[in-house]
Amino acid sequence: MNQIQMLLVIGFVWPEPNSSAAGGRMLQLIAQFQQQGYAITFASPAMDSDYMVDLASLNVDKKSIALNCSSFDTFVKELNPTAVLFDRFMIEEQFGWRVAENCPDALRILDTEDLHCLRLARQKAFKTHRDFITADTLKEEVAKREIASILRCDLSLMISEFEMDLLKTTFKIDEKLLYYLPFLLDPISEKTFEKLPSFEERTDFIFIGNFLHEPNWNAVQYLKETIWPLLRKQLPGTNLHIYGAYPSQKVMQLHQPKEGFHIKGRAIDANEVVQNARIVLAPLRFGAGIKGKLIEAMQCGTPSITTTIGAESMQGNLLWNGFVTDDANKFTENAVQLYQDKKLWTAAQQNGIAIINQRYSKELFENDFALKIQFLRSNLSQHRLDNFFGAMLQHHTLTSTKYMSRWIETKNSKKD
């Protein structure tokens, strides 16, 4: 093992915590490894963005890398990381074999974010007007790639208990390869709670979500076409404010101030706009993972109304901080009730705070996670021997993906 513990994070994109829950999640993982004493380098093949976090301010080294280029081999060999964290399976596909070949003793960790095969299977079921069943995930072409990536890695971090169960039961993944690690948050103290705006100080409804994410765009369409007309009829004069990073022209065309439907685009301060709203509306009809927008609502003391998919794996056996329903009329009825009833609203707010403190407080996970990483590093050879299918996939990946990548690299060099 290296004397200095070094973590290499290979990002699908540079972290944008103000644009998506995935960006915030990545910063939480970085903080956990720093707490365990790791020096961290964050590398990505993505272009820089205007909204990316300043990694240097977090004491993280930044490195731009290229796809299908042997320059990465030299870089990773010189860095010689103790552990490598792949941000989503697509990144593991691209760089996992290079890490395995050049740094065979490095612990390989996959952060799944959410299960892509689950999200896509649900989306297809929704668009073809049929009920989703878990076996649908087996039919997804992307599932073969995603599950192969999970098997090749030493550990996959799962944000959702539902997805943990799906992998174990439907895909027969050994639970030793999976680790439940949801959002890692600061608990909400009494002092923090007292600073939140009161029921009377808040007004209107809000939806917030990155528009590059298909479930968010679908939810906004559903709000515009179905739910908001019903809701505005019962609460005339109220407004729905739609915030989200990267809105397209088709999103902006939904802006109808006269109907109280406002497309605002990116929120400069998401916490501020959510705290000033009385209720978050999140009628998500497909998707996966746990929802950053609903966690954010709870942190801001803002009750929410969502669907069963929206609330999936988020509350455990605790009461939701509002209502969960898949029926548009019931959704509207619940929204009106929650908007007007201060006593009900306050109880819902308290439920959200309980969910944050009892299910997402980082203190519940950080010690066990550190022990898990230490155990794997100390028992890596045996752990890999026990994962025969992973070793088999790694062997064939090194054979096939390696030569495809080398072919692309050669082809690109001839163009130059």
Q: For 254-266, how does the pLDDT look when each residue is reduced to its tens digit (9 = 90+)?
A: 999 999 999 999 9
The stretch 70-80 carries a mean pLDDT of 96
pLDDT at 1 over 50: no
**How many CA within 13 A on the CB side of residue 33?**
26
Note whether 276 and 353 are same-domain residues: yes
- 15-29, 322-336, 356-370, range with the lowest pLDDT: 15-29
Determine what percent of the chain is predicted with pLDDT higher than 70.
96
The stretch 193-205 carries a mean pLDDT of 97
Confidence of residue 403 (pLDDT cuts 50, 70, 90): low
Write out the two tokens for 320: 């939701």
Q: For 373-385, how does the pLDDT look when each residue is reduced to its tens digit (9 = 90+)?
A: 999 999 999 999 9
Reference 275, options 206, 332, 343, 210; nearest CA is 206
Cα–Cα distance between 122 and 126 in angstroms, integer?
6
Residues of the domain holding 275: 190-361
Note whether 199 and 66 are same-domain residues: no
Q: For 134-171, how does the pLDDT look when each residue is reduced to its tens digit (9 = 90+)?
A: 999 999 999 999 999 999 999 999 999 999 999 999 99
Cα–Cα distance between 305 and 378 in angstroms, integer?
45
What is the number of other CB atoms lying within 10 angstroms of the CB of residue 307? 20
Q: Which amino acid, one-letter code, is at 347?
A: A
Tell me, yes or no, whether 209 lies in a domain: yes
Note whether 261 and 215 are same-domain residues: yes
The stretch 192-204 carries a mean pLDDT of 96
Cα–Cα distance between 248 and 383 in angstroms, integer?
46
Cα–Cα distance between 211 and 264 in angstroms, integer?
12
Cα distance between the two ends of the chain: 40
- Name the domain count of the chain: 2
Q: Are 345 and 338 in contact (CB under 8 A)?
A: yes
The overall average pLDDT reported for the chain is 94
- CA angle (295, 300, 306) in 5-degree steps: 45
Note whether 179 and 205 are same-domain residues: no
Q: For 43-59, how does the pLDDT look when each residue is reduced to its tens digit (9 = 90+)?
A: 999 999 999 999 999 99
- pLDDT number for residue 412: 75
What is the number of other CB atoms lying within 10 angstroms of the CB of residue 220? 24
- pLDDT number for residue 135: 94
Q: Are 325 and 307 in contact (CB under 8 A)?
A: yes
Note whether 371 and 244 are same-domain residues: no
Q: Are 80 and 103 in contact (CB under 8 A)?
A: yes
Note whether 176 and 45 are same-domain residues: yes
Note whether 265 and 139 are same-domain residues: no
The stretch 169-180 carries a mean pLDDT of 97
Cα 90 from chain centre: 15
Would you call 85 exposed, middle or buried from its count of C-beta atoms within 10 A (0-12, 13-18, 19+)? buried
Sheet containing strand 107-111, edge to edge, reads 61-64, 39-44, 6-10, 83-87, 107-111, 155-158, 178-180
- pLDDT number for residue 2: 42
Confidence of residue 402 (pLDDT cuts 50, 70, 90): low
Tell me, yes or no, whether 145 lies in a domain: yes
Q: Are 246 and 19 in contact (CB under 8 A)?
A: yes
- Residue predicted with more confidence, 30 or 391: 30
Confidence of residue 410 (pLDDT cuts 50, 70, 90): confident
Domain CATH for 218 = 3.40.50.2000
pLDDT at 399 over 70: no
Note whether 155 and 80 are same-domain residues: yes
Listed in sequence order, the residues at least 6 apart from 234 whose beta carbon sits closer than 8 Å to its beta carbon are 332, 336
Note whether 141 and 66 are same-domain residues: yes
pLDDT at 180 over 70: yes
Tell me, yes or no, whether 56 lies in a domain: yes
The stretch 173-191 carries a mean pLDDT of 97
Tell me, yes or no, whether 1 lies in a domain: no
Last residue of a domain, one of 320, 336, 361: 361
Q: What does each C-alpha distance from 338 to 27, 150, 204, 294 come to in angstroms?
A: 34, 42, 12, 16
Note whether 283 and 302 are same-domain residues: yes
Note whether 320 and 230 are same-domain residues: yes
How long a stretch of residues is the chain? 416
Q: For 282-332, how does the pLDDT look when each residue is reduced to its tens digit (9 = 90+)?
A: 999 999 999 999 999 999 999 999 999 999 999 999 999 999 999 999 999
The stretch 26-35 carries a mean pLDDT of 97
